[in-house]
Every structure is written in C-alpha cells, then in structure tokens.
Chain A
C-alpha cells in the first residue's frame, strides 16, 4: 500500500511539479522581430557557456510590464533577465530593483550611443543594456509627394507637413494624406502627442510639478493634430496605433506616417510592404522648437535584483547587447536585419549603410533626441515622450483617453484638455508632489 502511495505521489509530483534549476535562465521578453531572432540565436550563447540554458517567456507588451513589475516588487524571482524600456530603467535602477551592469573592456561600453546609455542609467550607473533603440521620424511616399508637385525637406515644419498631407490626400481613392497614432495609451497616442506638444512649446509639468495641460501650447498642438487627422487621416484614426498604421502603410494607403524609426525596416522590406521601393524619410517636424520633436526609446535587457543567478544573467545580457552579437545577426541574416539604434559602430559599418536605406535618417533622429532637454521651457523631469516618474503611466493613460475622445469627436479639444488637466492634477496631488 505504501509502495502504491509513493508511486502515486511520485507520479502526481512528476505531472504537476516543475522547478527552476540552477544554470537555467528565464528571460521575459516581447514578441517582435529582433527579440525572436535573439531566441533563435541563443544556442550560440549556450554553446559558449556550457552549463547555462536559456528559457524564454514571450509576453504581450502590456502583460510584460505588469508581470515584470509584479515580479520585481514582490521579489517573485520568476525572471532572471527582463526586457524593459527606457521609462522603467532609470526609475527601477534608482530604487535598487535592478542590478548595476558593469562589463569588461571587450564590451566597448563607449560604443553605445550616448542618448541610449544616458536614458538607461540612473546616478551615472547603467542599469539596462540597450538591445535595440529607436527615435521617431517621418516616413513618406516619395512617388505621391513628387506627383503632387511637392517636396519634403530633411527637417520640415508642421505647417509644411500639413500642406503635403493636403496635397497627396485622396480619400475617395483610399490613400490618406497622413496617418498618426490615435489609440489611447501612454505608449500609444500619448507618446506621439507628447513629441508634437514639445515641439509646439508645451511641457507636461512646470518646475513645481504643476501639470500644464491647460496651457495654450498644448491646445495649439492638440487642435493641430485633431484637424490634421480629421481632414487628411484615415477613418477611425482614434483606434490606430503602430501596427494598424503599419498595415495601412504597407498596403499603400498612407501617404505619410510619423512614428518609430523601427518602422522603416518594415515598410522598406518588399516581403512585407507593397510600397517598399517608394518610401523616403525625413526628420520629425518642428513647430516652434526642435526640442523634444522626436522621441527616444530603447528595448533593453536588465537583471532584477531578486535573481539568484545574477552572474549568468549578466553574461547573457553582455552577449545579447554586444558588438559581436550584431555581427552574428549580420552573418546569419544579413546587415539589413541587425538590431539598430544602440551602437555607433553599427552606423559606421559600410555593409550596414549599404543594406539599410534608412540608416542616416535613423541615426540623425536618435542623436538629436535629448531626454534631459526636451522642452522649450524648463522642467523638473527627464524623458522626451514621457516624464520619467512612476506616476506618469497612470497620467499618460488618462490623458491619452481624453485625446482619443477629442479625435473621435466625442468631446472638444478644450474639454479633453480640461479633463486631462484635472486627471493629472489629481494624480500628482495624490502622490504628494504639492
């Protein structure tokens, strides 16, 4: 009988039980092309580091943020390496939630683009290593612009962008003058609108942390945005974000798109895009200032302070964000497929320059973004398309919902900004800023 009990218990344990083993790294990441490629190439890391095996957990972006936040605050220890963004890295690093990253001379830390390195550091210490980075820029159909008798300078103004959008817009033919993010979310429409507002002279908070959403600059920017999309945007813009617009652009239904530089590699790829040979690039438009007109973002790898395998985890981060890894991707898939936006050496490489038609525009956009000086008037926060404070996520979501409602025509711009100001004010008071 005891034998039977032991067998049953053993079988149940075998079926139900699982346990993390030493030397096994669990890495949380999002599902995008560069990350998937990293998963495929992991065997190279495992071969070079016998005794370490890597398990991947791929999560939807929102779920990833929630899971890694839960894991890190409860010291759950489920993940040894986490994919986080430029918003989380300095906040979590300063709180001691992440391990400081120090690599050997081979890593060539000075080769990392200064904006990326700075944005992922806190108090001068690097807390996350950039895996790929991006800014924002204009991507447009040069055939449509030429056919309309227009030109697109390298550094256009918002007024010129509106003129081009009007000239190339053909709503009846299903080709829209301009496509922009409208879906609510702090990483969706709020991110884009923040860069636009920065350029119109607006800021999120004054020096005393008072929200500034009721300022004339915000009103001017949001009114311009709503008018532009209402007149020359696709129907249902308030539901569009990166993927929705990517689908429209690749189908040849957007004349112009201002969004993440990473999109350039998709829309210029003939396997994905019907207009791959007809796209060109320019820097994000400016209104009254160039400061903060284009965003800065990086998906980066970090090691949570709660992991029991910090040494192995750092080894992996060092490998995945190294110059050698970029060369490995180039050898495997070609220079057009390497993760960009992280290292100067990538942009200096003639093979990359030849393979990526967007290389110069992307580098110029990344180099011109400065998270510590992103508004016309002084602010107490850093960040271009966000304010790097824990409360921003909730504020950004609330504001994004109001902006989306204004775009959908459910409320006026004035009403939306007044409601956004109230929401931001409430959140900041609750957090004790004043």
Chain B
C-alpha cells in the first residue's frame, strides 16, 4: 500500500513541477508567439492561439535597428561591469570574511542598504558627473554604473562563500609563508570557484536586464538591448507584435547563455548548502 502511494507521488510531483515550469515560462512563450503575429492578430480578442505565423516583425526590426551594435554593447557592458565588480568585491569580501571585526555586519548591511535607494533619486548627480567626465553615451559609464549597482550583492554573495572555507586552510597557507595576495589567489579562489562563477553569472544577468541607466545615459552609440526594446513602445500606433519580436531577440542571447551555464549556476548557488 505504502509502495503504491510512493508510486503515485512521483508522477504527481513531476506533474506539479511541469505545471510550475509552464506557468513561469508562459510569459516568454506568449511573447514569442506574439512576435510571430501581425499587429492586428496581436490585439485580437479573444487572443489567437492558432494563426499563420509570420517573420515580418523580425525582418522589420533588422531593417529599422542595428541589432548587432546594441547586442555588442550589452555584452561588453554586462561582462565588463561584472568583471570590475568581481575584482573589487573579492578583496572586500575576503577582508570581511577572514579578518572580520566588530563592524563587519554593519558594513555589510550598509552596503546592502544602498540598493534600497531608488535609482531615479541619484539620476541628476550621476548624469552631471558623467557629463562633466565626458562619458555620456559611452560604454565606459555603463560599465562603471553596472559594477557599482551590483557590487553590494556580489560582496554579500562572495562573503558567504568565503566564510564557508575553513580558516585552518588559510592559516596553513600563511604558515607556509603565503602573502595575502597568494592566499587569495592560490588558496581561497580555487576553493570557492563555483561560488564566484555563479555570482558572476548572476551579475551578468542583472547587468543584461538593466534598463534605467542604459536608457538615461546613452544616446546613439552605447545603447544596450534594453534601450532598444524600450524604443519600440509607441505613443500613437500599434506596436505589440514588433515589441515582442525585439524582446525575443533581446532575451535570446542571455537565455542561451543561461541554458549553457545552468549547471554552474545551480552548483554555485547551492555551494555550502550541505556540509
């Protein structure tokens, strides 16, 4: 009887997992379907599920926008911002995890609290600084901004990974004469590599999806894919099918990237969960 119950539970759980996955995936599926409709089909009530698909919207996006240039900007700023943030976060997290003091917790909380500030609150100062530095509409300004806005989360994540490393291992390295730099590079980083990679992946995804600063600090040269998507909203005229097409094109690279890296992502996020 118990065995039968167990036999039933597995398909139920599998079914529930598939249902949950479908619910989560549905908006993306609907966006992809809408991108294959005409504007009139896209606004149809009730919504059309069966229709003759067209690639016209994708052709139109290619004609109207330099997709590749926006995609390159997204790649450079997402990877660049993440690299800068990781480089800054490793020593910060190391200092707090290995040589923590009385105020470590307060410093960590303060860093996280900066994320609570609405971005628009600092738009004007940041805009003026970028203007004075001659960095408006450059990838450099986005790399700097992306690094800064993700730094608190990256420090927090690395801090928790570094804390998992037994201090005895680091002390052994020190006894063997390793400098702080060598201790980090040859002992700490290899032991927490999975966590660092997953943190970097998460940061890349956050940078890729960032829209506020991309839209406000760029014009014709450094715009990222989020800025391209935003440009397809129209004040007067139907735009849902075209917007869905450009959104699909913008999501595709990061979805493929995430698909290939999912193993590392899960590995890193569960790093240290089981001792």
Contact = CB atoms under 8 A, between A and B. Distances in A.
Given A15-B139, A59-B231, A243 B237 contact: yes
Interface residues of A, number: 46
B237 A26 contact: no
Nearest to A251: B45
B220 interface: yes
A64 to B, nearest CB: 9
A362 B237 CA distance: 18
Contact of B232 (A31, A57, A266): A31
B131 interface: yes
A16 B220 contact: no
Nearest to B77: A16
Interface stretch (B36-44, B146-154, B172-180): B36-44
A144 B253 CA distance: 49
- Majority DSSP secondary structure for residues of B touching A: loop
Contacts of B64: 36, 39-40
B237 A33 contact: yes
B212 to A, nearest CB: 10
Contacts of A160: none
A19 B138 CA distance: 8
B195 interface: no
Q: How large is the interface on B (under 10, 10 to 19, 20 to 34, 35 or more residues)?
A: 35 or more
Contacts of A368: none
Contacts of B220: 26, 55-57
A250 B44 CA distance: 9
B239 A31 contact: yes
A243 B238 contact: yes
Interface string A257-301: 000101100100001111000000000000000000000000000
Contact of A16 (B143, B215, B231): B143
B231 A60 contact: yes
B223 A243 contact: no
A247 B238 CA distance: 7
Contacts of B222: 18
A159 interface: no
A243 B215 contact: no
Interface string B42-62: 011100000000000000000
Contacts of B223: 57
A15 B140 CA distance: 9
Nearest to A270: B40
Given A60-B230, A60-B231, A74-B128, A243 B236 contact: yes
B245 to A, nearest CB: 14
A16 B237 contact: no
B215 A63 contact: yes
Interface string B26-44: 0000000000000110011
Most chain A CB within 10 A, of B80, B219, B221, is at B219
A243 B43 CA distance: 10
A31 B233 contact: yes
B131 A32 contact: no
B136 interface: yes
Contacts of A224: none
B76 interface: yes
B216 interface: yes
B127 interface: yes
A70 B127 contact: yes
A253 B239 CA distance: 19
Nearest to B40: A272
Interface string A228-245: 000000000000001100
A61 interface: yes
Contacts of B76: 15-16
Contact of A67 (B124, B140, B216, B232): B216
Interface in B197-215: 215
Given A17-B138, A18-B138, A32 B236 contact: yes
A282 to B, nearest CB: 20
Contact of A60 (B39, B45, B233, B236): B233
Given A63-B230, A70-B127, A74-B128, A242 B235 contact: yes
B43 A251 contact: yes
Interface string B94-137: 00000000000000000000000000000110011001000011
B219 A17 contact: no
A74 B237 contact: no
Contact of B235 (A32, A74, A78): A32
Interface string B157-180: 000000000000000000000000
A30 B237 CA distance: 11
B7 interface: no
Given A18-B138, A31-B231, 12 more contacts: A15-B139, A16-B76, A28-B219, A58-B232, A60-B235, A174-B45, A243-B234, A247-B238, A250-B43, A251-B43, A251-B45, A266-B237
Q: Name the 4 nearest CB pairs between A and B, nearest first.
A: A55-B220, A58-B231, A18-B221, A247-B43
Interface of A: 15-20, 26, 28, 30-33, 36, 39-40, 55-61, 63, 66-67, 70, 74, 76, 78-79, 174, 242-243, 246-247, 250-251, 253, 260, 262-263, 266, 271-274
